[in-house]
Amino acid sequence: MIQQARETLKNVFGFKEFRPLQEEVIDHVLERKDALVVMPTGGGKSLCYQIPALVFDGLTIVVSPLISLMKDQVEQLREYDISAVQLNSTLSRQDYQHNIDLIKRGEVSLLYLAPETLMMPRTKKLLESLDIDVFAIDEAHCISEWGHDFRPEYRKLAEVRKNFPDAVAIGLTATATPRVQEDIKATLELKETETFIASFNRTNLFVEIQDKHRPLDQVLTFLEQHEDQSGIIYCFSRKQVDELTQELEIENFSVRSYHAGLSERQRSKNQEAFIRDDVDIIVATVAFGMGINKPDVRFVIHHDMPQNIESYYQQIGRAGRDGLQANCLMLFSYSDINKIRYFINQKQGQEKKIAERHLNALLQFIESNKCRRIPLMEYFGETYSPDNCDMCDNCIGEPKQVQDLTVQAQKFLSCVVRTDQYFGATHIANILRGSEAKKIKEHGHDELSTHGIGRELSKKQWKRLAQQLLIQNFLKRDPEYGSLKIKQAGIELLKGRKTLHGKVKSRKKNTGRGASRTAASANKIDYDEVLFQQLREKRKELADEADVPPYVIFPDTTLTEMAYYFPQRKKSMRAIHGVGSVKLKKYGAIFGKLVKEYCEEHGIAEKKKRQATTRRSSRSSAGTSGKKRHHKVGRAYNKGKSIKELRAKYDVKLSTILKHLRNYYREGNSLRPEGFPEISGLDKEEQNIVWQAYKKCGTDLLRPVHEELDGKISYEELKIMRLYYLAQTGKGG
């Protein structure tokens, strides 16, 4: 049967080989043995039950809490001509009944259900009469109260599962610590179970943490480096989501928001726009992302600190599911800890203890000076042996100078003792800095011997030191009030019997020429960018006609291979990753014609693809053969092309050309100034007023200039005049 599975992988899905552990899991399931599968997001969990569903004769039931994921997977399977349906509350009565009729006639291979739908008496009655071969439970970590996303209704699945004693059960999750894994197996009563745990290391994700200084500037800098790429920005609150979305819209980014404060219709509309490439960026609370299977998300930004490592890992796991390079940036500040701790303090008992443990583990990950992957993998029970991954800020940045902080630690601990261990890190830092604040004087702490003895460190540095004392078990925090208490190791440190080594200086702000930029050039196939964009446009056109997301037609990995190998024959197209027999029949001729015409126009010959390097080729580390669009626009403009001519040539909005020219300038290139006044609607006097505003406010952000001018000049005019100002003065972009 495993040979049949291999043929299905190749002929139906168009993949030449299984990903790690997929074949072992599928072979185990085909032998009708239960399994628990722990694979990172993007690791290929779905094929572990989809292929057995096509090999077995009976029905495969897939239980998922995520309606968006059901819809997405059903659409993708139908593109492969696989019979799959869903039953959930989003379907019309007519569609619901139509799907039931298909199931009764035995015309369905995979049935996707929400847990609530599965519990309904009419669903149970329907399934009783059917031959069910596989019972797959996706997001299985929801079963465990030790997980980060516990759902009580999931524990009822154990009872439902008993109704299908002959069906093989498979639990699947991307985030499960060893404790959660055991809870899943015990609750589901999996028989002859084998646990398959793939590495949690997503090698294509570049992981970076920056201290949060001016978060809007940091986000804008990052986005300028990832122009026209698809990405998600996570914020802590709805208010922050709305504010950041507005700022990005002002800066002409293609962006939508997503949070629980929006209507269900608006959330669905915004999510759909993102999935279908109608918008590049989603700014969202954690409410967004569960069930999003968009493979070409190129970055995830945490504008605010996540609540725990599981959430963080799950959220960054939404990037780079196609295996290509993706960047993950977290902005971190100690005020974020206080926000999270406030919500933790609303919990009680065991739930509160678990939340505290999760937060402390996350802080240890953030503060680590080692390769980011070491603490991340350790959290999930995996050992990461290399010292350098070359894919995180700690590994490719400047070596961090670890200091002897013993004296500063003794000052801090001494101050904790002298304040009777009743206060938190901020109050202690204020005393050490010599603050004369009202609270300090009310408690008589301005009279302490420790008052003002710590002016060598900033308040933020003292708080970072406190965090390291907590992480290294010299201090503990009162779970209810947040006050700091000295542990035995802290007493030993005070007496000079122990030392503290660490780092209190801020992480250097990434300016766009450091970690993210270095990582962004890694793992990039040497493809023709112009052809790739034409293929993307054709894919979008076909997707809109079929009313499906573009990646359902072909993922980016397939298009990049087409733009690298230039397949012009049916046989050559068949060798491309992701082009199976069904997709070849549907789309091979369409994309082949486009490739052939492009090659004839540019005199390009087809490259032969060697099967032995199939997987590696799509992740080649060579540079791009096509020039970046903003380079082409900038050079053409400087050679005398007008902005009007450039708009017509590339068929884009004025704001897009202005954005390309600004990016070109920011990379150190000059721009001829005379082309900007000719497209401006401002007279000479108005231009001079705007010029003075830029001189006063700077050119980084448009909002301060807009406000300085009382909102009288439009943002589009401000963008034109910014480039005119920069071109004339030669100042920073």
Task: State pLDDT tens for residues 188-230.
Answer: 877 767 889 888 888 899 999 998 888 888 898 898 788 889 9
We find that the CATH architecture of domain 2-197 is: 3-Layer(aba) Sandwich (3.40)
**Residue ranges, CATH 1.10.10.10, the chain:** 403-502
Confidence at residue 513, expressed as pLDDT on a 0 to 100 scale: 33
Show the beta-strand stretches assigned E in 625-672: none
Place of tokens 């010292």: 387
pLDDT on residue 148: 54
Segment 570-593 shows an average pLDDT of 91
Cβ atoms within 10 Å, residue 594:
16
Report pLDDT for 515.
Answer: 40
User: What pTM did the predictor assign?
Assistant: 0.69
Nearest one of 730, 643, 722, 731 to 687, comparing CA atoms:
722
Residues carrying CATH 1.10.10.1390, the chain? 629-729
For 205-396, CATH gives: 3.40.50.300
Kindly report the CA angle at 551 between 76 and 23, in degrees rounded to 5?
60
> 629-729: what CATH class?
mainly alpha
Q: List CB contacts of 619: < 8 A, sequence separation 6 or more.
A: 204, 323, 324, 523, 525
Query: Is the pLDDT assigned to residue 401 strictly greater than 50?
Result: yes
Q: Which pLDDT score is estimated for 540? A: 92
Closest CA to 252 of 521, 655, 558: 655
Collapsing DSSP to helix, strand or coil, 8 comes out as: helix
Query: Tokens in use for 506?
Result: 């801020």
Instruction: Assess whether pLDDT exceeds 90 at residue 373.
Output: yes
- Residue 392 gets which letter from DSSP? B
- 403-502: CATH topology: Arc Repressor Mutant, subunit A (1.10.10)
pLDDT at residue 316 greater than cutoff 60: yes
Counting residues of the chain whose pLDDT is more than 90, the rounded percentage is 36
Q: Which residue has the higher pLDDT, 30 or 143?
A: 30
Q: Which of 150-159, 524-533, 666-675, 676-685 has the lowest mean pLDDT?
A: 150-159
Q: Encode pLDDT of 91-141 as tens digits.
A: 889 999 999 999 998 899 999 998 888 888 888 889 888 899 999 998 888
Per-residue pLDDT averaged across 662-690, rounded?
A: 87
Least confident of 297-311, 356-370, 428-442: 356-370
Residue ranges of the chain assigned to CATH 1.10.150.80: 529-617
pLDDT over 70 at 145, yes or no: no
User: Is the predicted pLDDT of residue 328 greater than 60, yes or no?
Assistant: yes
pLDDT of residue 192: 67
Task: Decide if pLDDT at 621 tops 60.
Answer: no
CATH 3.40.50.300 domain position(s) in the chain: 2-197, 205-396
Q: Domain 529-617 - what CATH class? A: mainly alpha
d(CA 407, CA 248): 45
Of 112-126, 388-402, 507-521, the least confident? 507-521
pLDDT winner (highest mean) among 440-444, 476-480, 579-583: 440-444
Q: How confident is the model at residue 447 (pLDDT cuts 50, 70, 90)?
A: very high
The mean pLDDT value for 649-663 works out to 82
Pick from 294, 325, 299: nearest CA to 204: 325
Residue 612 pLDDT exceeds 70: no
On average, the pLDDT of the chain sits at: 85
Specify the range with the lowest mean pLDDT, choosing from 153-157, 225-229, 434-438, 512-516: 512-516
What share of the chain in percent tops pLDDT 70? 91
Residue 626 in this model has a pLDDT that exceeds 60: no
Q: Please report the beta strands in 383-522, taking only residues with DSSP state E, as ranges in sequence order.
A: 403-404, 475-477, 484-486, 501-502
